A and B are shown apart, each in its own frame.
Chain A
Amino acid sequence: MRLVIAEDAALLREGLSLILTNAGHRVRAVADADGLLAAVAAEAPDAVITDIRMPPDFRDEGLHAALRLRRDLPGLPILVLSQYVEHTYAAELVSLGGGVGYLLKDKVGDIPEFLAALDRVAAGGTVVDPDVVRRFLEFRRMRAPLERLTPRERDVLALIAEGRSNSTIARGLRVTDAAIAKHVNNILSKLDLPPDTDGHRRVLAVLAYLQHDHDGF
């Protein structure tokens, strides 16, 4: 694959480039968000790997760049490497649909797994760091086990996790939109995500599903 990496710490940038080059990828490495946007425009890569916190302000430039790239180039696979366990960022990414990943930085140490995660993202899948999901679900899981879902509801949730809309799911399962909407409501209430919960209920449900689905790293 042709890859663009954005990472401001030289040590990590070099290390990642080396690992990915050894794995047979063509890598272009940059050190900030502006560099990332320029490199993507120039290289038309197959996937992007980016840090969140980068120059000039060291806030969340990388994430903003990622959101912008996805707007300009829908479907461009993006893997975000982060030091933050907060699920807000992960949820923002997952809400973009498939082909996104959010990994904590220490996961690059398990090189085969890291490369596999990159492949999953590049193939349009969704990867969220199990530690982020686990931290989020640690307590919620006792209150709302995924086991309470009916098999049909689980199928629907799996399709939501692939980033599909209600009507696409309805077409795929050959049922009406209303039936799917009812399933989704049941799923959300069984996962203890009532309507007044702040933010992206659908995304939180996906996080719950991902945790259950690929436990372990």
Chain B
Amino acid sequence: METTSGPPGAARDGTADRRTLAGDPLRFLASPLPWRALGFLLTGWLVALMWTVATLALLLVPALGLVLLLGGVPLAAVERRRLRWVDPAPAPSPHAPPVRPGPWGWAGTRFRERATWRELGYALCFALALAWADALVGLLVPCVLYLLGFPLLTVALPEFQPDRLFGLIPAAHPEAFLATALGLALLPFALYLVTAYALWRVRLTRFVLLGGEAGADRRVRELSLSRERIMDAMDAQRLRIERDLHDGAQQRLTGLILSLGVARLELAEAPEPARIAVDEAYRQARTALSELRELVHGIHPQVLTNRGLAPAVAELADRCPVPVDVAIHLPDRPPEPVEAAAWFITAEALTNAAKHSGATRAWIRCHRQGPSLLLEIGDDGTGGADPARGTGLLGLADRVSVLHGRIEFDSPAGGPTLLRAELPCDW
């Protein structure tokens, strides 16, 4: 079984914006996103320049005038590639494969497509205005960097001797370090601004170059957003149920056990039937509480919330009848939905290993790989587990897919079984 995220086109960018710009500011500034955005903005004018030069060169050959109308197509291909620096969601070409082979067939198909004309329009806007506006906004960051390095510049380049920076900050040391302080203060704002602008620009590009959103695409986007909402709501509900049970039923049952305990002491001298009855009530209350406790743990393990993935998974491994080697190396705690998914995957995989596989040894490896959390669980059992038969693994695939991750499950008859999940998280 292999499930990939596959959100078409713009289905992801709404969440990408929300996660990165509205999240923890330190995490945002340490992430590569602002610098990717900067790269996107500062390279656009080069593309525009090359496209303009190539177009003008083609104009010199009269017979190629018609070809010029297709000029938007290669530029759009470059732009679809470039925009993924900022938003890595896939940006597939909206063009259909040519009906007939050969260059004429290709041109014929392209001329009949609406996407071709949208691309030409975009190419003109881009080459004449957008690319240059991008560069202007992008230059904000180099300006701030110039401020930062101003004192260094005055030392390194003796011939470069402006009297004062903006007429405000003298070039002489140590006053020149005022510029560094100013630069440091402005840098986060510049990065935020540049990133926000780049995200907006990428959305514009997606809108034009991915054929807007055709009806089916829009439906898929809505569906995938609503699926995210449902999963969020489900997790919130789980947490609420767990809290309600803990604060309500569990406390009351404990109170009842306490009262029955007192009653048992008071009845120590009472006739035997009375003592037996109270003992029985006490025993049943304790059984009820311990069943409730197990139920609550399965709904949402507290150790996961309070201590993170490593101890929670170790707890799962410790309770597994098959010996499990655990190796978890995470520099930081991943976002909560990722932790929860990893925990549920591990729980399901270990249950399978213990129940069906006849394994004598299992192992769990979990570490960070690039921007993703990589989780691998394997056992030396007989394999042959079929994800289509149980709902457990399918449910996991849904959960992983909502997080735009992927899960691979390989369990040939005879074994071994290997489950591999990749969960992207904005670290």
Partner-B contacts on A (CB < 8 A): 9, 11-12, 15-16, 18-19, 53, 58-60, 83-89, 104-106, 108-112, 114, 131, 135-136, 138-140, 143, 192, 194, 196-199, 204
A84 to B41 alpha-carbon distance, docked (Å) = 52
A–B pairs, 15, beta carbons within 8 Å: A9-B247, A9-B254, A11-B255, A12-B251, A15-B259, A19-B262, A60-B307, A88-B307, A88-B314, A106-B253, A108-B254, A140-B318, A196-B325, A197-B326, A204-B318
Least CB distance, B76 to chain A, in whole angstroms: 51
- How far is the CB of B78 from the nearest CB of chain A, in Å? 48
Does chain A have a CB within 8 A of B290?
yes
Interface-facing stretch out of B49-57, B62-70, B293-301: B293-301
Task: Please tell me if the beta carbons of A84 and B302 are within 8 angstroms of each other in the complex.
Answer: yes
B235-264 contacts to A (CB < 8 Å) = 243, 246-247, 250-255, 257-262, 264
Q: Is the Cβ of B323 less than 8 Å from the Cβ of A143?
A: yes
Range of interface residues on B (Cβ < 8 Å) = 35 or more
Number of A-B contacts (CB under 8 A): 115
Given the interface pairs A60-B306, A106-B286, the reply to whether A139 lies near B320 with Cβ below 8 Å is yes
Q: Which of B277-327 contact A (CB under 8 A)?
A: 282, 285-286, 289-290, 293-294, 296-297, 301-303, 305-307, 310-315, 317-321, 323, 325-327
Q: Given contacts A108-B257, A109-B257, A197-B326, is CB(A86)–CB(B315) below 8 Å?
A: yes
> Hey, which chain B residues are within 8 Å of A104, CB to CB?
290, 293
* Residue among A19, A83, A106 with most chain B CB within 10 A: A106
Give Cα A155–Cα B311 distance, bound, in whole angstroms.
29
8 Å CB interface, B213-254 against A: 243, 246-247, 250-254
A-B pairs with the 3 shortest C-beta distances?
Answer: A109-B261, A109-B257, A198-B314
A47-B253 Cα distance, complex, nearest whole Å: 26
Q: Is the CB of A58 within 8 A of B243?
A: yes
Q: Does B265 contact A (CB under 8 A)?
A: yes
CB distance from A114 to the nearest CB of B (A): 8
C-alpha spacing A212/B319, complex, angstroms: 18
Tell whether B135 is near chain A: CB-to-CB under 8 Å. no
- What string of 1s and 0s marks CB contacts (under 8 Å) between B40-83 and chain A? 00000000000000000000000000000000000000000000
Q: A110-B261, A140-B318, A196-B326 are in contact. List 12 more A-B contacts (CB 8 A).
A: A60-B306, A83-B293, A83-B296, A84-B302, A85-B297, A86-B303, A104-B290, A106-B254, A106-B257, A106-B286, A108-B257, A109-B260
Contacts of A110 in B (CB 8 A): 261
Given known A-B contacts A60-B302, A109-B282, A111-B265, A198 and B317 have beta carbons under 8 A apart: yes
